[in-house]
Chains A and B, each alone.
Chain A
Amino acid sequence: YNFTYPFSSSISTANGSALVKIGNTTVICGIKGELTCPPSDAPNKGYIVPNVDLPPLCSSRFRPGPPSEQAQVASQFIADVIDSSNVIQKEDLCIEKGKLSWVLYCDIICLDYDGNLLDTCVVALLAALKNARLPEVTINKETDLAEVNTDKLHHLNVSKHPVSSSFSIFDNTIVIVDPTVEEETLSTAMMTVVTDEDDRLCMLHKPGGSALSGEKLQDCISRAVTRHREVSKLIEKVMDSFEPDK
């Protein structure tokens, strides 16, 4: 593996943020909480809105303008990871049923693109969510208006810790973990496995490409499990290192 390193709290204006590097790939994630009305079909839930941005800055392959297909696919992937893994219970984001809830905008911006974007994004998202602190909000009974108490900040309740591991597959014989951009373009297929701390799979995302047998899949999954331990330890360590100061 190339080395992963999350730095947290790098953006002061966001509620939570993290910068993650895997090899040369650098991704920054900012989380901004806003108050909104909960969705009418699920009045006790909040929203999480992820967005992955691949600006022309990160690689010459991206052009300015509307989000590229890859960026849209990555956004959808992150949204699916959030949904599937229940990283945050959406019920926790509700302040008052049917009236007020949080919407978390998770903006992930790639600063340097050198392959393995999805892994980096997931680590960044997780680190940023763990780092995020939202102010306390109460609803004033008389005026029916929300009052934000910015002195009281509390962490989000991160219930699951999904970590993803990407593999590049070359004709079903060679599997490479954590591919760089060259490896990604040369490979015949990509696969991303997302696991949580109970060794359950949240996602097995393989968008086409050359075929893979069940045994190979299993290999990759066990690699992903070990990878999960590695990364979650890393995040924990970084998080712990903050706590005493605050």
Chain B
Amino acid sequence: MRDGPNTHVGSMMDVAVSPVLALRKFGCEQSLLSRPDGSSSFVQGDTSVLAGVYGPAEVKISKEIYDRATLEVMIQPKVGLSGVRERAQEHCVRQTCEAALLSTLHPRSSLSLILQIIHDDGSLLSCCLNAACMALMDAGLPMSCLFCGVTCAIEQDGHIVTDPTSQQEKESRALMTFAIDSAERRVMMSSTRGSFSVNELQQCVALSQRASEEIFQFYRDSVRRRYSKTL
């Protein structure tokens, strides 16, 4: 967001001007489970994900990396066993976390992040990312930056919707999920579905960066609240 996003220029593509363009209510709770070293549950509208982090702990020899920690991410669906789709999501979440974590501070150790889907009502991947970030924070792991996930959907008529519900996802023409970093609001991860133009993509990126501000503010508020009593 270095070149002022606030400047108004006649838009080529209509940015949807409607109350739909909002993030749903979100909520988060940290360290709600007793066993994991860090845990959080993140709720976006009806979508809800529970995350647990174990580590740094002893690592299996076969998975040991000599100069940094091994991160494992598991996504558990609510019904049935995890399949190829979950594997792909795990891959995205893992690489995003790896980029944010300062894993070189814990060489030859293992970190495991488990995400349990409690309810899916759209924007699942972004909810997973948010829950993951909160859980990593709760576990007190050193990170170079925070990250958050934002999902945008482009409707049939070209309107953009942020944080879509599963109904909106189904009706949409394209769906994009971005992970935005807290340091410079850049795109850490992107995963898309459906076809769209470059213009639409850039709009969605800017929109996500905008939305990320809200989420990071939320992160800050929740952490401030969490530690307000012990100060």
The 5 closest A-B pairs by CB, nearest first: A208-B95, A211-B186, A208-B96, A76-B88, A72-B87
Question: A86 vs B173: C-alpha distance in the bound complex, in angstroms?
Answer: 12
Other contacts beyond A72-B84, A76-B88: 20, CB < 8 A: A69-B91, A73-B87, A75-B84, A77-B88, A79-B84, A83-B193, A84-B192, A199-B198, A201-B195, A204-B190, A204-B192, A206-B189, A207-B91, A207-B189, A209-B96, A209-B188, A211-B99, A217-B201, A217-B202, A218-B202
Q: How far is the CA of A210 from the CA of B97 in the complex (A)?
A: 10
**CB of B197 within 8 A of chain A?**
yes
In contact, B206 and A214 (Cβ under 8 angstroms): yes
Q: How far is the CA of A214 from the CA of B5 in the complex (A)?
A: 12
Residues of A within 8 A of B (CB): 69, 72-73, 75-77, 79-80, 83-86, 172, 188-189, 191, 196, 199-214, 217-218, 221
Query: 0/1 per residue, B94-115, Cβ < 8 Å to A?
Result: 1111110000000000000000
A203 touching B192 by the CB < 8 A rule? Answer: yes
CB-based A-B contact count at 8 angstroms: 114
Known: A75-B84, A204-B192, A214-B205. A189 touches B198 (CB 8 A): no
Is B99's CB under 8 angstroms from A76's CB?
no
Evaluate whether A207 and B191 lie within 8 angstroms (CB atoms) in the complex, with A200-B197, A201-B201, A218-B202 already known.
yes
Q: With A69-B91, A84-B195, A221-B198 known to touch, is A214 a contact of B187 (CB < 8 Å)?
A: yes
- CB distance B190 to A206 under 8 Å? yes
Contact-size category for B = 35 or more
Q: How far is the CB of B201 from chain A (nearest CB, A)?
A: 6
C-alpha gap A208/B193 in the complex (Å): 17
Task: Say if the beta carbon of B137 comes within 8 Å of chain A.
Answer: no
Residues of B within 8 A of A (CB): 2, 84-85, 87-88, 90-99, 174, 176, 179, 181, 183-184, 186-198, 201-202, 205-206, 209
CA distance A50 to B50 in the complex (A): 31
Indicate whether A210 sits within 8 Å of B99 (C-beta atoms), given known contacts A72-B84, A72-B88, A75-B84. yes
Cα A218 to Cα B187 in complex, Å, equals 12
